[in-house]
Structure formats: structure tokens, C-alpha cells
């Protein structure tokens, strides 16, 4: 078994074990309805975490994604709810602006050789502050397009519903997998995370790749913010506080190395699903505090960090 795939296998096995325990213990836990609810309830986090996966595989970090989600929601609320824009017109403005925001952060990281942690931390404060300045109150979104999107979907056996947010998530996932494993850009992402100096010597366009990675992360965060507005029918500046940490946790639990160079988008989806299964188990139990979710996720993070350390040590000894 390749050590590259081992964290992914471990994540899949743990997810199956947790879901199986819940299905045995609680009636209805293993139903199709619960499975699809895991996707629909966490669609915005999964989309965000896909972008974070690209960043971490490249050896970076992006702390701004939660604030970008909030800013996107506030802009949707203002443009659609206050100024009467059609949602598609608002999206056509918000997504390019978010992409430009990420590209600027990527440019600063590459040109001035700044730590991604510091640059994206500044981006986090900037986006959250701008969102709060635009509106401190929650802005309701009432538009026929939102009603139509919320009602669109497919009924499946077991009283399950495959909604728009899940369909959009699956589309993003397919595109991300194709890009990461069957395109030059994906190869550049892995090369940057493997060894930055070697990537330059191999002819990787480091500047374009770095800017593209952070632009993609911000684009997906903005898209997640739009998806979240379909979930809440509102925009609020304090939305998604701490989501960047949830995304990072999902990426690590999904088997992506924090040092970069190794990881899978599918693993990140499994990581989010594991977090969702833990939360669902606590809801079904009814007697446990919701804070147990954080405790278990913390323990899982410790486990996967130790696993990564052991795998890295094994690779070094083998080399």
C-alpha cells in the first residue's frame, strides 16, 4: 500500500466506522436522507475546503476564506435586497471581485516573499471589516430567483432530497478533481508543495501558479458564500466566523499533508463528512453537548498530525 494513499484510506475507514456505529445505534441514521443532508448542510464548507486543499497542497494557507464568505453574503444582501439587482448580475460582480482579491494576496505572497499566514490574515481582517462596515445587521434576501433555486431538486428514495447546493458542490468537486489530476495547473500545485526550488528549476511558472491558487481559493470561498445565502436567505457580516479553521481541519483529516505536496480533494470531502457525521451522531443522541463535536475533531486532528509525522519520517528513512 502506497504511503501517499494511506491517510486517505484511514479517513475513509474511520468515516465508515463512525457512520456504521450511528446506523446500528439509531433508527434512520443510515438512511439516504441523512446522507444527502450531510452534503446539503455542509455544501458551503465543502466548497470552501476544496479551495483550501489546493492552497495547503501548494504549501500555503488561506485564513481569509471565512471573511470572504461573509463579505459575499453581505454584498448579495445589499445588491439584491437593497438595490434590486437580479441575483445573477450580483453573482457576476461578486465572483470576479473575490477572484481578484485572492489574486492580489497571491501576488503579495510571491513578489514580496511574504508568509501566506500573514498575508491571508490581513485579508481576513480586511474582508471581515469591510463586510461589517457595509452592514452590521443581517440583510434579508427576498427574490423569486432564490425561491426557484431553493425549490429545485430531485426526490430520491427514503424521503431524500437532492437540492441545488448539493448539485453545485458535486460539479465543483468533479472540476477540482479533473484540474488537480489531469491538468498542468494541478501538476504545478503539487510541484510547488513538494519543493519550491525544484519546481522553479523544472520550469514551473511559480508566479502564475501562486496567484492562480489563491485566486481560486477566494473564488470558491465567494461561491460558498453565495451558496450559504441560498441556505439562509440573508447576508450577515458575522457569518462563517471560524470557518477557515473548519476548512483547514477538514483538509488535514482528509489526509492532505500540512507540509504540502501530497493530498486529495476527495479526501477533504471525506474529512467534512466525518465532521458532519460526528455532529449528526450528537444530534441523534440528544444527551451529549454540542461541544463534543469540537473535542472529537480536535482528537482526530492530533491523530492525523501524528500519522503525517510518522509517514514523513518513514519516507526520509526510506530515502
The pLDDT tens digits for 159-205 are 899 999 999 999 999 999 999 999 999 999 999 998 888 888 889 99
> What is the model's pLDDT at position 159?
87
Q: Which residues contact 53 (CB under 8 A, 6 or more apart)?
A: 176, 251, 254, 256, 263, 264, 265, 267, 268
> What is the model's pLDDT at position 2?
64
CB 78 within 8 A of CB 136: no
Q: How far does CA 173 lie from the centroid of its chain?
A: 11
Q: Is 242 exposed, middle or buried (0-12, 13-18, 19+ CB in 10 A)?
A: exposed
Q: What is the pLDDT of residues 248-267, one digit of tens each?
A: 999 999 999 988 888 999 99
Instruction: Domain ranges for the chain, please list them.
Output: 6-314
> What is the model's pLDDT at position 83?
95
The better pLDDT of the pair 255, 3 is held by: 255
Strand partners, 234: 140
Listed as own residue / partner, the contacts of 113-117 with beta carbons closer than 8 Å and 24 or more positions apart are 116/55, 116/60, 116/61, 116/62, 116/214, 117/61, 117/63
CB 71 within 8 A of CB 127: yes
Global pTM exceeds 0.85: yes
Amino acid at each position: 500500500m502506497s504511503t501517499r494513499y494511506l491517510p486517505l484510506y484511514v479517513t475513509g475507514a474511520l468515516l465508515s466506522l463512525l457512520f456504521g456505529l450511528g446506523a446500528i445505534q439509531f433508527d434512520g441514521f443510515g438512511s439516504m436522507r441523512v446522507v444527502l443532508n450531510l452534503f446539503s448542510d455542509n455544501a458551503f464548507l465543502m466548497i470552501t475546503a476544496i479551495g483550501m486543499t489546493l492552497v495547503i497542497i501548494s504549501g500555503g494557507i488561506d485564513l481569509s476564506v471565512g471573511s470572504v464568505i461573509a463579505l459575499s453574503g453581505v454584498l448579495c444582501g445589499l445588491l439584491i435586497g437593497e438595490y434590486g439587482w437580479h441575483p445573477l448580475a450580483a453573482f457576476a460582480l461578486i465572483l470576479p471581485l473575490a477572484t481578484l482579491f485572492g489574486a492580489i494576496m497571491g501576488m503579495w505572497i510571491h513578489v514580496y516573499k511574504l508568509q501566506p499566514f500573514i498575508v491571508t490574515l490581513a485579508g481576513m481582517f480586511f474582508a471581515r471589516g469591510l463586510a461589517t462596515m457595509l452592514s452590521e445587521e443581517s440583510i434579508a434576501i427576498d427574490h423569486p430567483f432564490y425561491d426557484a433555486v431553493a425549490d429545485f431538486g430531485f426526490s430520491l428514495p427514503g424521503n431524500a432530497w437532492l437540492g441545488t447546493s448539493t448539485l453545485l458542490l458535486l460539479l465543483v468537486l468533479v472540476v477540482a478533481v479533473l484540474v488537480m489530476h489531469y491538468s498542468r495547473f494541478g501538476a504545478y500545485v503539487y510541484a510547488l508543495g513538494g519543493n519550491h526550488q525544484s519546481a522553479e528549476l523544472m520550469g514551473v511558472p511559480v508566479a502564475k501558479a501562486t496567484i492562480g491558487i489563491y485566486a481560486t481559493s477566494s473564488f470558491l470561498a465567494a461561491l460558498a458564500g453565495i451558496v450559504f445565502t441560498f441556505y439562509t436567505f440573508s447576508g450577515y457580516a458575522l457569518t462563517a466566523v471560524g470557518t477557515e479553521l473548519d476548512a483547514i481541519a477538514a483538509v488535514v483529516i482528509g489526509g492532505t499533508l500540512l507540509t504540502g505536496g501530497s493530498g486529495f480533494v476527495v479526501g477533504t470531502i471525506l474529512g467534512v463528512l466525518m465532521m458532519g457525521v460526528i455532529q449528526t451522531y450528537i444530534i441523534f443522541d440528544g444527551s451529549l453537548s454540542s461541544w463534543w463535536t469540537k473535542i472529537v475533531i480536535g482528537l482526530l486532528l492530533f491523530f492525523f498530525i501524528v500519522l503525517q509525522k510518522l509517514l514523513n519520517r518513514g519516507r526520509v528513512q526510506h530515502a
